[in-house]
Structures are given as C-alpha cells and as structure tokens.
Structure 1
Amino acid sequence: MSGLFGTFNVATRGMSAQQKALDVVSHNIANANTEGYSRQRATMETTRPFGMPSMNNAMGPGQLGTGVEISAITRIRDGFLDYQVRMENGTSGLYQGREKFLTEIEGIMNEPSDTGVSTLLTKVFNSWQELSLHPESSNSRTVVAQQSKALTDELNNTYNQLTKLKVNSQDVIKQNVVDVNSMLDQLNVLNQQVISVKIGGNEPNDLMDRRDLLVDQLSVKFGITIDKKSLGGEDLKPDEVVGSYNAYLVKSINQDEVSRFSYVSSIKPTGVIVVPPDVETNPPTVQKPGENGKYQVTYYKNGDTSTEKNKATINMNLTPQQYKELDQGRVLWADKDGNAIDSTGAKLESSAEFKNLALFEPQKGELKGYMSVQEDIDKYVDKLNSLARGIAFSINAVHSGESDATTKTGIPNIFVNSTKTGVDGEIEINAGNISINKVILDDVMKIKVAAGDTPSATDGKRALAIASLRDIRLDIQSINNTTTRADFLSKTSSLFSLDPTLGVKTIASSVDGMTVSGYFTDIVNRLAVQTQEAKRIVKNHESLLKGLDESRTSISGVSLDEEMANMIQFQHAYQANAKIISTVDELLDVVINGLKR
C-alpha cells in the first residue's frame, strides 16, 4: 500500500537492512585475526514494488518502490586461489618433510669436522704410516689400536643415530596418521552441517570457512582432489590414488562409506630357522628383518596406539623388496573403523598376501616426504655398512695375508663383528657392529707389522702396505650385506697378490673403484646435494605460497579500514531511515490530530 504508512514501512525495512549490514561489519571486525576467516558481505536488494502489471492496474507514473531487504550474506572467496594454494601445499609439504630429516642426517654425519669419520679415517692410516717407521714401538701400535677404535666407535654411533632417526621418522608418520584421521572426521561432520544449513535455505559461511581451513591443513599432508556436490557438499580423496576400491575419505552422501588410514607399528620375522646347523662353522641362521620369509605385521587401527584394543596382526610372506616397501611406507588403507582392507575393500584377515595389502602411497605432501626420507636413511645406512666392510676386508686381508676370512692363520683380525666370535668374527660385519678385536686391544704387540709371519717382527713393511690402502681404489660400491672378504677380493683378477717390493700380499687398485676416503666423501656430497635441493625448493615454494596467500588475503581478508568505512556508511543510512520514520510520525500526527482543529 502507498501513503504515509507505506513510507513508514519502507523506512522500517531500511533500518532493519542497515542493522543487519552493521551486524555483518561487526562480525568481520571481530574475526579480523581469525585464521581461515573469509570476510562476509550483506547483499541488499529492493523488495517487490507496487504497481506490478495486472488487469485492474491503473496507469500511473511508474512503479512505487517498497524498500530494501538483505537477500543474502555471502563470503568473499576465490575458489581458483584455494586450488592453487592446496596444490602448492602438497609440494611444499613434501620437501619440508624431507628437509627436516635430511638436515638431521647432515648433523649425524658431522662433516666436515675434526671428529667425523673422514678425519678419523685419515688418522687411522696416518697411525699405520707412523707404525711402519717405528715398528718396534709399542706406543705406535697402541696409537693404531686406539685410532682404529675411535673410528669404529664413530661408525657405530653414526649407524645407531641413523637407525634412531628412522624410528623417529616413523613416529612422525604415526602421529600424522592420527592427525589426518582426526581431520577427516571433523571434515565429515562439517560437511553434513553445511548441507543441513543449505537445505534450510541459509548460507553456512562460518562452517565453510572452518571446512576450507581443515582442507588447507590436510593438503599439506598429501595431495587432495575435491569434487563439488549439490547443497555445498564436498567429496574428498587423495591425488593419483592407485589400487583402492574406495579412495574417498569424505563424502556428502553415504558419509559412512569412506576410508581411513591405519599405521603399521612393527614387521617382525616369525623366527623360522632358514639354514639348519650342520657343522661348527655353519651355526643356526635365524631369519632376520629384510630377508625373504614369513612375517607378522602388526598395525593399529586409525593409528591410535593408546589402547591394545586397536592392535591387529596379519601374517604374510614378504620378499626383501616387499619388506622394504612396507617398512618405508607404514600407512595402510582401512575402513572407517580402522580395519586394514585389500584393493577390493574387503577386510584383511589374520593371513594375507602382500599383493592384496592396500598401501597408501601419496605422491606429495609431508607424508610422502617422511616416507621418502626413510628410503634415503636406508641408503645411507647401506653405504655406511659398505664402507665399514670395505675397511675391515681390506685391512684384515693385508694384515692376515689371506683373502678368505675363514682361513685359520693364527693371526688375529684387526676389525671384527662385535656380535660374533672366533674365526668368523668378520661375518655380517657392518657399521653398527664393527669393532677392534679384543685380542688386539689386550695385547697390541699382536699387530703384525713386518713382511714375515711373526707378528712381533719389526721391518714395518706390512704396516706400510696397510697405510698405502688409503690411496688404493677399492670396489667398495659393489659391497652388499652378503658380500664376504673372498667375494670382495675376487672382483678383479689378481686383485689380491704379492707386492714384490714390500714382500707382502696387498690389494691392487680397481679401475672402477674408489678410495675409502673418496667413497665416504661421495656419501657426504650426495647428502649435501639432496639437502640443498630440499632447502631450495622449500624456499622457492615459501615465496610462491606467500604470494598466493597475499592474493587470497587481499580478496578474502578483513580490512579494518574498509570495514570502518562501511560501518559509517551503514550508520548514516540507519540514521537517515530513522529520520524518515520520525518525519512520517509527525505527518501522521497532522493527519490524525491536526484535522480536528
């Protein structure tokens, strides 16, 4: 209706609209520092005017407006920028995870330094050189023994620290599995709340902000793909999923039909004897981690290790490669309750084949970074083991004059496996167990320094031959965990032969070999390159993400100056509408009361 009462209603609607707009401004200002908040805007539209076309509508000067209303309160958000940020979060998370642990590996290697392996190697060979000049001196022999012990202690320490670091990285993976599952549960709840509000005809701006913030945080863990659904719902799954029947982690419909992740806490050999005892030199061989055989795989549902009720086991046969994949991955696809599933979605029973095990293998994100760095740690441990074996095989061979460690010569080895005894003390030697023979430490005069067979002879030629090993190119890079001294010295024809000048058997340089110091330097250089690459990519992506975040903030962020200007604008409009109401009130008083006079 038109007239004074119509004008009164227009002003009333105007006051109500401006008040709601002020509420939105107040909400924006209150959340100016809230992480993930997107500024909101009240959209105003004119209400239905008078004078709409009809059969009995009299012609007039035009439609008469009836005021204003708030049609929607929307958040200001750029979906493409969100997509870009999440894509870069995955790559940044990958290299942040790698940088974190590669930097720690650098600290463990402790190179270059006065106490690192490289310096200790030099001191060992220098001590043998000095012993060749003073073969009769017990002090020189003691220096050889102690410098060699310092080297083995450092190799043991480096090995143990790398092993602990791998365990730490697995603990981080476990915590990430717990965090990811928690995020997914929260996202599932928020998804349903958003849909419920949308069904009611309202705009769930704050709920969508909270959901987007969780998605941003999740995208750092691994790459994600989002499928937009009706009523504001979102279906979420990891990028480039291979071999999973149900890759969806969050669904807007059938929200219980989703997957989760579980964590493998241990992979233990069943203890089956692989090689039965037959003779004294062939003791029982028990299956070790990483060998082909049967394993008991223990995992915790949803990564929750707080209660043994979540513990489950699977028995399976694993090859060395399968063991490595499972050991370095550790994360299994599971149903919503945390039960490990196969590629068809069926729950795995107490026994299963590895090919049916659904391993989660993200292509990027922090989880991928932590998984990949375990592979790096394993490689550096293997290289360190090869170094330890190369040192032991070469020095022991020249010291004993034998290419076969099992040959009984009566001359003690310098380096032995601390877990073994007797003539086989060199078997399965690695950086973690290499040590100086206790016989040598107890009596340094048993160190053989001369060309003859008598250990206490004093011509120093054998000590000189051992000192010369520092410049000999050895096939260290070909050594693996099954290589024996005989295997190592038979890589090249006449590799271990009599030196006519010194009168002792020594090792000739291999064309494709590396010196002991050069091999370790190569390890350190490779590590430095990997660490620098991770740091460089992290730095580049930090700059890129900073730029994207600034772009997103310029659109979605709250500007206090802008909100203050809007507040003044809505305040004046509110006051103007109030003035109209006051004026209409005076006019109505004239009409109602003034006409009586």
Structure 2
Amino acid sequence: MSSSFGSLNTALTGLYANRRGLDVSGQNIANANTQGYSRQRVNMQSVVGGSSAAMYARSDGLGDGVEVTSVQRLRNEFLEERGRTEHASSSYLTNQAAIYNSIEDVFGEPGDTALQAQFHDMWGGWADVANAPNDPAARSALLQQSATVVDGLHNAYGSLASHWKDLRGEAAAFSAEVNQTATAIADLNKSIVLAKASGATVNELEDQRDLHVMHLAEMVGATASKRPNGAMDVFVGGANLVSEFNTRTVEVNGAARLEDQAGDPVQLTWKDNGTTATSGGRMGAMIDALSTVIPGMATKLDDVAKKLADTVNAVHTTAYGLDGVGGRPFFSGDSASTIAVALDMDKPEQVGAAPTPGTFDGSVADLLSRTGERTDGPDKAYQNMIADLGVASQTSGRRADIQSNIALQIDSAREAEAGVNLDEEMTNLLTFQRGYEAASRVLTTIDSMLDQLINRTGLVGR
C-alpha cells in the first residue's frame, strides 16, 4: 500500500514530466525557423507501483507517478531517403539544364550577329563577286566576310574551351567540399554514438548530420544507411564515402584542357585506389558536361569548320584569280580553332572566281555562292548541330522542372512529419502548463494533509 509520503513523490514526478514537456515545446518553438530542425515530442509512461515489493508485501494497484522515457525526434527515415534521392536527381537535372543554357549562349542563335548570319553574309559575298568579277572591292569585302566567319568559329570554340576550364575548376572545388562534408559527418557519427552510449539525447546532432547528408546527396548523389549504434554510413555510387567514423577521399582527375579531353577524360575518382566514383547530383552533371556534352559540341563545331574548309577549297582550287594564278586553297586548317583564310587579306586579286585564267568570269564564285543551300554543306551541318543543342536543352529544362516539382512534393511530406507547427506547440504548452499546475496543487494538498497529521493529531483534551 502506498504511503502518504509516497504520494508526494507521485506528484513530484508529475511536476518533472510536465516541466520537461514545457522545455521540449519551448525548444520546438525556438527552432521553428531553423533549417533542418526536426520537431521533438516527449514520451511519457506511468511508473508501475510495487514492482520490487517483498514476497509477502501487498500493493493497492496504484502506480508511482510518471516518467519521461524519451524525447523522440519526429522524422520519417523513409521520406528522408526518398528526399535525398529526389534532391540528387533534381540537382543533376537543374545543373545539366544550366550547362546547356550556357552553351546556347555561346552560339546565340538565332541572331543577326550569330554564326549562321555570318555564313549567310559570306555566301552573299561570293554572289557579289560572281556579279562583278572585275571589281576588287567585292573581293575585298568577301575576304572580310570570310574572316568574320573564321573569327566566329574561333570565338565559339574559345568560349566552349573557357566554359570547360571554368567547369573543371568548379568540379575540383566541389570535390574538396565533398571531402570536408564527409569528415563532418564522420565527426558527428562519433559524437552521436558516444552520447547515445551514455544515455544522452542526440536529436540536434542527428539533425545536423541529416543536413550534411542531404548536402552530399545534392552535390554528388550520395545515399545513406543507419547502423544500430546510431552511426550513419554514406555511399557514392555504391561505395563507402563515410563508414562509421572513417572517411574516404574523392578527387577530380583527367585533362586540364578541352583539347586533351579525348585522350585523358575527366573523372571523379577515389584517391586511395584511383577507381572511378560514379557520381550523381551536381557533380554528376559537371562530369558529364566535361567528358561528354562540351567535348561533343566542340567536335561538332570542328566538323562544321572542316566541312567549310573542304567544301570551299574543293571548288576554289579549280578557279583563277585576277592575277591569273589558280589552284589556291581559300581556307587553311581543319578545325574550329585552327581554320583561317589562306589568302592574303591585302591582295583581293588572289580570290578565284573564273574557271579559266585571264577572264572576267564569275561562274566559280556563283557556284560557291550556292554552297549554303547544299544538304551536305557546312550550313546544314551547323543547323543540325544547333537543332540538336536546342532539343537537348529544352528536354533537360522540362525534365528539371518536373523533377523539381517532385522534390517539392517530397519536401512537403517531410515537413509535415518533421516540421514545427506553432499552433500545435501552443496547444502543447497549455496542456503541459495545466498539468504542471495540477501536479503542484496535488503536492500542496498532500503537504496540507501531512501538516494536519503531524502537527495537529493528538491535541484533543489538552
């Protein structure tokens, strides 16, 4: 049977439990706008009375109050893993779309000063030479228009190479950030495991760790799994980046210039064994752009330049200039970075327009003026390249928008589980406040009863 003094302890446990509830609600309210914070809940259970009573002792069946068993962190692990997966995909597609947009900006099509317009002006220059084969001014204008096309090809390739180099440096910086974040997760793992072993609450530490893991998912497509002791392992491409308290290091290896990419492709690798680390997220988009997208566009641009040089030279070498000399190539070089006008810019008479020497015949120039209409000419190759780029960019942008909406939906579900609802917390505050006041009243009542029993019993008849 419980004693009067035992009732004091029962009321006292009520005070402790409700005060802990007030503390937790206050913590939730204080961190309502803290990024990555998970709301917490006090779990209470009644203390069973008489559990350690002597053999012949009897219990009245009442308990001995209440105790706080835990402060639970309200976070759904399934939704967290789903969130990491969707954010990794969203980050990959968003950055891929941004890379395609930047490549489109390099060419600036359609536009009055873009390469397609420059091609058109150059073929028009050949038409002017065909119409006035004895006019040196028309030939000078043609040379300038051709030089403009050459400059356009050089600038486009230079912009691609510059963008490639900037992206290469950015990828290297991101790999260092991945390593720093992995180290932070390993340190948090150690703190969490030690704190759990001592019985401490680690909710805030786990919130910090989840933020780091989400950051890794967005950067490199990382996934994670928890161990029974509370530590979390992190994986990149199925291989361990963080294993309990230990980490591995990733680095970006490969070519330092776009020109060297074909023989030494850029890769994200494990530093300890040099094998490829299959990445997703933002770095996955970067590595794909460095190894495939930008080199692919540069190769197509080289093909356009080569086709331009080969097509024009094949016809121009059959023609004669005003100086009576024939067989000259009009362009030199066979790539976007090396193509140049092979003729002397100050000698327009070198431009070949006639099929026979010593005549004012513009039939060869007329033939070259129609090069832009050829289905196998440089214009068509360039148009196909721009069309493919536009389709890839549009597709990537649409996929990024769709994936972004999916990620937002998952974030809403995660927020519903882990986010702080101020209205709910205000209700909890009132509940714990009333519970604390009621426990205080019970304590006061028992104190008054004991005062009556101790100080006033036995005074009758005195």
Matched ranges for 1:68-79 at <5 A: 68-79=66-77
Match of 1:399 among 292, 310, 316: 316
1:496-551 alpha-carbon deviations (Å, 9 max, x no partner): xxxxxxxxxxxxxxxxxx33222111111111111111111111111111111101
Matched ranges for 1:154-553 at <5 A: 154-240=152-238, 247-252=239-244, 255-256=245-246, 258-264=247-253, 266=255, 290=260, 324=262, 326-329=264-267, 331-335=268-272, 341=273, 357-362=274-279, 364-374=280-290, 375-401=292-318, 411-416=327-332, 426=333, 429-437=334-342, 439=344, 441-454=345-358, 457-473=359-375, 514-553=376-415
Gaps of 5+ in 1: 241-246, 269-287, 291-322, 336-340, 342-356, 403-408, 417-425, 474-513
Q: Distance in 2 between matches of 1:223 and 1:101?
A: 18
Residues 255 and 264 in structure 2, CA contact (< 8 A), matched pair in contact too? no
1:114-157 alpha-carbon deviations (Å, 9 max, x no partner): 11111111111111112111111222112211111111111111
- 262 and 239 in structure 1: CA distance in 2 versus 1, 3 angstrom threshold: closer
Which residue of structure 2 aligns with residue 477 of structure 1?
Answer: none
Which residue of structure 2 aligns with residue 511 of structure 1?
Answer: none
Give the 3-state SS of the residue equivalent to 2:262 in structure 1. helix
Q: Distance in 2 between matches of 1:56 and 1:168?
A: 83
Give the 3-state SS of the residue equivalent to 1:248 in structure 2. strand
Q: Distance in 2 between matches of 1:437 and 1:533?
A: 40
Give the 3-state SS of the residue equivalent to 1:593 in structure 2. helix
Matched to 1:182, the amino acid is Q
Match of 2:109 among 96, 108, 111: 111
Which residue of structure 2 aligns with residue 243 of structure 1?
Answer: none
1:461-520 alpha-carbon deviations (Å, 9 max, x no partner): 1111211222233xxxxxxxxxxxxxxxxxxxxxxxxxxxxxxxxxxxxxxxx3322211
Which residue of structure 1 aligns with residue 435 of structure 2?
Answer: 573
Matched to 2:341, the amino acid is I
Which residue of structure 2 aligns with residue 563 of structure 1?
Answer: 425
Cα RMSD for the two superposed structures = 2.1
Q: Distance in 1 between matches of 2:374 and 2:102?
A: 32
Aligned residues, how many?
Answer: 453
- 149 and 71 in structure 1: CA distance in 2 versus 1, 3 angstrom threshold: same
Q: Distance in 2 between matches of 1:205 and 1:414?
A: 73
Residues 267 and 327 in structure 1, CA contact (< 8 A), matched pair in contact too? no
Matched to 2:347, the amino acid is D
Q: % of aligned pairs identical? A: 27
* Residue 175 of structure 1: how far off its partner (Å): 1.3
* Residue 238 of structure 1: how far off its partner (Å): 1.6
Which residue of structure 2 aligns with residue 7 of structure 1?
Answer: 7
- 326 and 22 in structure 1: CA distance in 2 versus 1, 3 angstrom threshold: farther
Residues 13 and 67 in structure 2, CA contact (< 8 A), matched pair in contact too? yes
Q: Distance in 1 between matches of 2:43 and 2:370?
A: 85
Give the 3-state SS of the residue equivalent to 2:70 in structure 1. strand
Q: Distance in 2 between matches of 1:327 and 1:150?
A: 32
Q: Distance in 1 between matches of 2:453 and 2:266?
A: 88
1:294-326 alpha-carbon deviations (Å, 9 max, x no partner): xxxxxxxxxxxxxxxxxxxxxxxxxxxxx6374
* Residue 158 of structure 1: how far off its partner (Å): 0.5
Give the 3-state SS of the residue equivalent to 2:241 in structure 1. coil
Give the 3-state SS of the residue equivalent to 1:430 in structure 2. coil
Residues 51 and 64 in structure 1, CA contact (< 8 A), matched pair in contact too? no
Which residue of structure 1 aligns with residue 322 of structure 2?
Answer: none
Q: Distance in 1 between matches of 2:193 and 2:51?
A: 38
Q: Distance in 2 between matches of 1:208 and 1:51?
A: 35
* Residue 289 of structure 1: how far off its partner (Å): 5.7
- 40 and 51 in structure 1: CA distance in 2 versus 1, 3 angstrom threshold: closer
Residues 451 and 462 in structure 1, CA contact (< 8 A), matched pair in contact too? yes
Residues 249 and 259 in structure 1, CA contact (< 8 A), matched pair in contact too? yes
* Residue 582 of structure 1: how far off its partner (Å): 1.6
Residues 52 and 63 in structure 1, CA contact (< 8 A), matched pair in contact too? no
1:215-274 alpha-carbon deviations (Å, 9 max, x no partner): 11111123334343221122222234xxxxxx322112xx34x42112337569xxxxxx
Residues 128 and 466 in structure 1, CA contact (< 8 A), matched pair in contact too? yes
Residues 45 and 68 in structure 1, CA contact (< 8 A), matched pair in contact too? yes
Which residue of structure 2 aligns with residue 131 of structure 1?
Answer: 129
* Residue 201 of structure 1: how far off its partner (Å): 2.1
Which residue of structure 2 aligns with residue 64 of structure 1?
Answer: 62
- 32 and 326 in structure 1: CA distance in 2 versus 1, 3 angstrom threshold: farther
Q: Distance in 2 between matches of 1:453 and 1:209?
A: 84
Which residue of structure 2 aligns with residue 122 of structure 1?
Answer: 120
Which residue of structure 2 aligns with residue 20 of structure 1?
Answer: 20
Give the 3-state SS of the residue equivalent to 2:43 in structure 1. strand
Q: Distance in 1 between matches of 2:51 and 2:231?
A: 41
